[in-house]
Each structure stands twice: as structure tokens, then as C-alpha cells.
Amino acid sequence: MILDIQRMSTEDGPGLRTTVFFKGCNLSCAWCHNPESISPRPDLFWFAQKCIGCGTCEGSCSRGVITREQGRVRFNRAQCAAGTPAAGDCRRCVEACPNGAIELKGEAREVESLCGELLKDRAYFGPEGGVTLSGGEAVLQSAVTVLARLLKEAGLSVALDTAGAYDFRVLEGILPFVDLVLYDLKIFESALHRSFTGADNRLILENYRKLMERGSRVWVRTPIIEGATDSEENIAAIGRFIREAGPPEKWELCAFNNLCRDKYERLDLDWAYKTAGLTRKEHIKALTQTARALVPSAVWSGSTV
Ligand code: SF4
Ligand code: SF4
């Protein structure tokens, strides 16, 4: 179940890459930039600015998912059966809308056909680029291991973007077909990690250690989120941990942006960070200095103010 394919990506590993975003995640980070990737099933997006209020969508769904209130289209999302055995690839509401105001995000793909599509992009990969498997949490779908194997057998460089919150056996199966692991380490303190992501970080830290013991090529990524991950204490704690467990080839501190705000609106979700601004440059530079004192490969990236 894929969400999207992004081509010519420069932020998901070395060189020019094609990134495949898979649906389904076992974390629920408060700042998530891909909220439509969390559910393993398709999600309905509604574009308020495209809606002409015709009401056609209301009658299109036999499950009574859609109503309208005060000019807004409302979805009883739990009742939408798209992607289930009962309804399969139902997208009647999408097709009924005359103005493209409803989209279904998420599509089931055959591994072989997806692989064939990705192989066409090798023309622009060059010596460094390749395919990055991202999400959501890509490894939660066993078919992703099959895809990684097919890509590797075809001679492509494969990167895996993961948060590592699962039993290591899940990761072990795909590692032989992966050249680079992009590994998220967000918050070191366990209770804080749980409160912002919904999950404990014990497995995440253990799995990082195991990756380094295996000699995997790893880039660590830490999102810089105000009030959550952006304290000197947190960056220093992560730095001490990765210095001791095995320093990565690169540790990237990624500045926050709020470009995903519209996605929350399309999903009818409130977002705690909807009014948060970009990370201050001085702040991320200071955090990077702290990080670099412990792990020399630390860098920062992203737009700042
Ligand atoms: S995708 Fe199908 S089940 Fe879901 S809201 Fe649209 S018409 Fe109803
Ligand atoms: S069918 Fe489309 S344009 Fe008409 S009310 Fe529904 S979402 Fe809006």
C-alpha cells in the first residue's frame, strides 16, 4: 500500500533518488509531516477551495460516509471501506465529484509492477542515487522486503528510511538488500519520547546499536521540533548515545517546517504545530555545535529564519 512516489529527491539519501512512501506507521509523532501515511489504509483528502458545494458526493457513498454541514463536506472516516476486502478499490466519491475536491491517498500496488516503474528512473540516478523506501514505516509491509530484493538484483542502490520501533527481526530480513539506512533518533528520554510519539524508544535505541554492530551504513536524522526535540540536553544525550554505540556516517539535524499544514486540514485534523514557525538558524547552529562536539559528522539541513 503506497502513498506516493517522489522523483528527483535530494533529501532522502545520497545523489538523486526516487522515494517511495509506504502507508502505515506504528508511531504517531505529534509533529508528523505525513499524517496521511499513518493509517495503513487509504485516506480521504478534501480540498475546501475546490469544493463548489454541489452535494453530489453525499449520495455517492452507499456506506453513508459523507455528509455536509455548514458548507463543509464531512467524512465519517471509520466507515469508509476503501482498501478493505469488502470494498476493494472503491473510489466512487472521488469519481462523483465534478471538481476534483476529493482524493483518496493510498494505492495497493503489485510489487513487480512497482519495481518496473522504479527501474525506469535509473536514467537519472547517476553513481550515487537510487531508490529510498520511506513512509510511514516501510518495513511493516513484508512486500517491501521483496521490492528491496528486486531493486538490488537489478543493480540499484536502495536506502531505507525507518524509525526503528519494532523487533529487530523485522529489519534483519531487509538489510541484505539495503545499502544505506536513514535512521530517526528523535528523543532520548524515554517518557518524553512516549509522550510525543506514542511509543517507548527502548527498541529504537537497541536496534540502532544492533545496526552498528552489524557494520551497516547509517545516517541518523533528528527532526528539530520546538519544545520536543530541540533542547541542548536532548541533542547531547542522543550524541553521547550514538558516539558510544557507533557513530553514523552522518548525523543530520533537520529544521522544522510547517509545509504539511494543509494536509491536516484536508484530513480534518487539528495539528498542534499549525502556528509554529520555521526553526531559528542560530538555534539549530548552536544545536549542531553541541552535536558535532560529540559526533563530528553532525550537520544541519532545512529552511530556517
Ligand atoms: S471511498 Fe467509497 S466507501 Fe470510502 S467514502 Fe468514498 S464512496 Fe464511500
Ligand atoms: S461533490 Fe465535490 S464539489 Fe460537490 S460538494 Fe462534494 S466535494 Fe464539493
Tell the CATH topology of 43-105.
Alpha-Beta Plaits (3.30.70)
Query: In the predicted model, is pLDDT for residue 86 greater than 90?
Result: no
Evaluate: CB of 56 within 6 angstroms of ligand 2. yes
Q: Which residue has the cell 545516517?
A: 219
Evaluate: CB of 181 within 6 angstroms of ligand 1. no
2-39+108-301: which CATH architecture?
A: Alpha-Beta Barrel (3.20)
For residue 85, what pLDDT is reported? 83
Evaluate: CB of 93 within 6 angstroms of ligand 2. no
Extract the C-alpha cell encoding 124. Answer: 537519472
Indicate the burial class of 259 (C-beta count within 10 angstroms; 0-12, 13-18, 19 or more). exposed
CA distance 226 to 279: 8
Nearest Cα to 162, choosing from 200, 204, 112?
204
Ligand closest to 57 (CA) is 2
**Buried b vs exposed e over 202-227: b needs ≥16 C-beta within 10 Å?**
ebbbebbebbbeeebebbbbbbbbee
- Residues 6+ positions from 248 with CB-CB distance below 8 Å: 183, 212, 218, 219, 220, 242, 295, 297
Domain 2-39+108-301 identical in fold to domain 43-105: no
If pLDDT is split at 50, 70 and 90, which confidence band does 83 have?
A: confident
How far, in Å, is the centroid of ligand 1 from the Cα of 265? Answer: 19
The Cα-based distances of 138 to 134, 162, 170, 305 in angstroms read 6, 7, 11, 32
CA distance 84 to 280: 44
Nearest Cα to 150, choosing from 182, 118, 108?
118
The answer to whether 248 and 297 have CB atoms below 8 angstroms apart is yes
Query: In the predicted model, is pLDDT for residue 84 greater than 90?
Result: no
Segment 206-237, tens digit of pLDDT = 999 999 999 999 999 999 999 999 999 999 99
The answer to whether 226 and 255 have CB atoms below 8 angstroms apart is no
Q: Where are the domains of the chain?
A: 2-39+108-301, 43-105
CA distance 302 to 305: 10
How far, in Å, is the centroid of ligand 2 from the Cα of 16? Answer: 38
Our CA angle for 123, 128, 129, nearest 5°, is: 50
The pLDDT mean for the chain works out to: 96
- Predicted structure pTM score: 0.95
State mean pLDDT over 46-50: 97
Segment 134-152, tens digit of pLDDT = 999 999 999 999 999 999 9
How far, in Å, is the centroid of ligand 2 from the Cα of 93? Answer: 9
Q: How far apart are the first and last CA of the chain?
A: 37
